[in-house]
Amino acid sequence: AVKLTDSQKKLGVNLNYHVITYGCQANVRDGEVISGILEQMGYTFSDALSKADIIILNTCAIRENAEKRVLGVIGSLQSYKRKKPEMVVGICGCMPQQEQMAQNIVAKYPIVELMFGTHNISSLPTLLENVLTTRKRNIEVFSALGSIYEDLPSVRQFRHKAFVNIMDGCDKFCSYCIVPYTRGQQRSRRWEDILKEVKRLKEEGYQEITLLGQNVNAYGKDLDQGCTFADLLEKVSDTGIRRIRFTTSHPWDFDDRMIDIIAQRDNIMPFIHLPLQSGNDEILKLMNRRYTSKQYKELFDRIKEKIKDVAISTDIIVGFPNETEEQFSDTLKMVEYCQYDNAYSFVFSAREGTPAARIEDSVSLEEKKRRLQRLNERLGYYSKLNNKKWEGQVVEVLVDGFSKTNPEIMSGYTPQQKLVNFSYDNAQIGAIIYVKITQGMKNSLNGVQVHPGKENHEQY
Ligand code: 5AD
Ligand code: SF4
C-alpha cells in the first residue's frame, strides 16, 4: 500500500488530473488505481485536457500501432504544455517498460517529466512530488518485480461492475508477445486477498466482477497456496456475487475441472475468450503456443458440450513471419469450424526483443492486410449468424447506461457478453433486467425491455 505524506496529500488541491488509458483490462485496472492515488493527493478529475494540471498516458505496447498512437498524443500535448508550462505530462504502463522505448521517449519528448512502469505505480506520489518541487524528470521503471499491489486506493469506472486483478505478468513466452517482458513474470495474488476484495465489492452493491490476468488458468502456479484457478472460481462463486467473468484464458492449462465449475455455477457467466492465434500447427509451434489445432478443437468441443449456451470469442494473428497461403487457410478452416461469437484479429507486429521479431519475413504487408480482410469477412459472418440466433429470445441484461446518441435507448451486456441496445420503460443503471431481442447484428443486439411474469422468472 502507499502511505502518503502530509505534503503529498495536499499537492493536488485545487488542481485537475486526466488519465488516458490504452490497451487491455489490466491497464484499465491500473488506470483506476492511478486515478485513486491522484485523488488521494487532492487532484480532481477533469474531462477536458486543457483544464488538466497533470495528464497521464497509461500506455500499451502490444502492437506497434498502439505505440504510434501514444507517441502521436504526446506530440499533440506539446501545445497544451506551451500554454501551461507548469502542467505535468506523465507516461506509464507498458511502453516505458521496454528499455528502448523509454530511452526514445526521454530523448525525443522533453515535455514528459514523469515516467513509471507497471511495477512502480505505488511510487507515483513520491515521483510526482519530486517533479513538482524540483521540475526535474523523474523516472522509475524496470525495477525488481514487486508483488501485486494490495490496498491501493482506486477510482473504479463503474459502480455496478468491477475488474479484480488476480495476477500480473505472464510466463508463457509466446514468441511474438511483448507481455512477458513488459509486465514480467507471473505473480498471483493470494486467494484470501482476492476474496476479500470480491466480498467488499459485493457489499458495496457490485453486480459483476471480472477476474483479470494475462493467463488466468495458470493462476496460483507461482504460489504455494494450494489454490488453482478452478478452486478460486469456486470460492468466488460461493460469495454469491451475481455475475463472474474472467479473462484471458490460455487453451494450454484449461482443465476439465474448470469447465465443470463454469458449467455448474449459475453466477459464472457462459462466455469464454479462447485465443486461437493460428489454426496451423507449424505456425502454432513457431508461436510457442504449446497446443495443436487438434487439441484446440477438442477443448473447444468440450467447452461447447458442457457449458449450456456458451459463447466463445478468440484472438487471431495473421501474417506471422513467412506464413504461407496454405498455413493461413488452416486458420480460415478453424474459423469455419469454431464459428466464433466474437473475435479480435491482428496483423503480426514485430516487437523488439521477442524471438519472432528476429525472423526474416518474406510476406508483404499488403498481402497480410488482404489476409486480415478475408479473415474478418468470415469472422463477421459468424458473429452475425450467432447474434441472429438470439432474435425472439428473452435475455438478462446488466444495464450499463444510456446510449450516447439517443436517451430513449439504454445498453448493457447479456451473460454471453453480447452488447444489447434496448428501449426501456423502467430500467436503472446497475440493475439486471429482461430484454426481448428483436434484431441480431454483427457487433450487437437490439431489443425491448420486457417484464416476464413472476411465476416464470425470479424478478430482481
Ligand atoms: N502482433 C500482433 N498481435 C499480437 N498480439 C499479441 N502480440 C502481438 C503481436 N506482436 C495479439 C494476440 C493476443 C492479443 C491480446 O494481441 O492475438 O491474444
Ligand atoms: Fe502474450 Fe502468450 Fe502470455 Fe498471452 S499467453 S500474454 S499472448 S505470452
pLDDT digits (tens, 9 = 90+) for 357-378: 999 999 999 999 999 999 999 9
Helix (H, G, I), strand (E, B) or coil at 167: strand
Centroid of ligand 1 to alpha carbon of 346 (angstroms): 7
User: Among 328, 340, 330, which Cα is nearest to 373's?
Assistant: 328
Closest ligand to residue 61's CA:
1
* Contact status, residue 62 vs residue 178, Cβ threshold 8 Å: yes
For residue 404, the tally of other CB atoms under 10 A from its CB is 8
pTM above threshold 0.85:
yes
Cβ of 179 below 6 Å from ligand 2: yes
Does pLDDT of 457 surpass 90?
no
Cell readout for 404 is 450516447
Q: In angstroms, what is the span from residue 179 Cα to ligand 2's centroid?
A: 6
- Residue 316 CA: nearest ligand 1 atom is 17
Rounded to an integer, the average pLDDT of 12-32 is 95
460 pLDDT tier (thresholds 50, 70, 90): very low
Contact 283, 332 (CB under 8 A): no
Binning pLDDT at 50, 70 and 90, where does residue 1 land? low
pLDDT (average), residues 400-414: 95
How many other C-beta atoms lie within 10 A of the C-beta of residue 82?
10
pLDDT of residue 146: 61
**Atom in ligand 1 nearest the alpha carbon of residue 349:** 1
Q: What is the pLDDT of residue 142?
A: 66
Determine the average pLDDT of the residues in 92-98.
92
CB atoms within 10 A of CB 164: 22
- Give the distance (Å) from ligand 1 centre to CA of residue 176: 7
Is the CB of 316 within 6 Å of ligand 2?
no
- 455: pLDDT strictly greater than 60: no
The mean pLDDT of the chain is 94
Determine whether the shortest distance from the Cβ of 164 to ligand 1 is under 6 A: no
Q: What is the pLDDT of residues 320-369, one digit of tens each?
A: 999 999 999 999 999 999 999 999 999 999 999 999 999 999 999 999 99
**CB-count burial class (<10 Å; 0-12, 13-18, 19+) for 295:** middle
Average of per-residue pLDDT across 424-447: 97
* pLDDT, position 153: 84
| CA geometry: angle 268, 271, 273, nearest 5 deg | 125
Whether the CB-CB separation of 146 and 25 falls below 8 Å is answered with no
Closest residue (by CA) to atom 2 of ligand 2? 174
Does the Cβ of 317 fall within 6 Å of ligand 1? yes
pLDDT, mean of residues 279-304: 97
Closest atom of ligand 2 relative to the 180 alpha carbon: 8
Ligand that lies nearest to the alpha carbon of residue 357, given by its number in the listed order: 1
Q: What number is the average pLDDT over the span 226-235?
A: 96
Name the phi and psi angles at 386, rounded to 5.
-65, -40
What ligand has the least distance to the C-alpha of 317? 1
Q: How far is the CA of 288 from the centre of ligand 2 (A)?
A: 10
CA distance 46 to 57: 14
Non-local CB neighbours of 318 within 8 Å, separated by 6+ positions:
328, 331, 345, 346, 347, 348, 368, 371, 372, 375
Number of helices followed by number of strands (H, E) in the chain: 13, 19
Atom of ligand 1 nearest to the CA of 248: 18
Q: Which atom belonging to ligand 2 lies closest to the Cα atom of 170?
A: 3
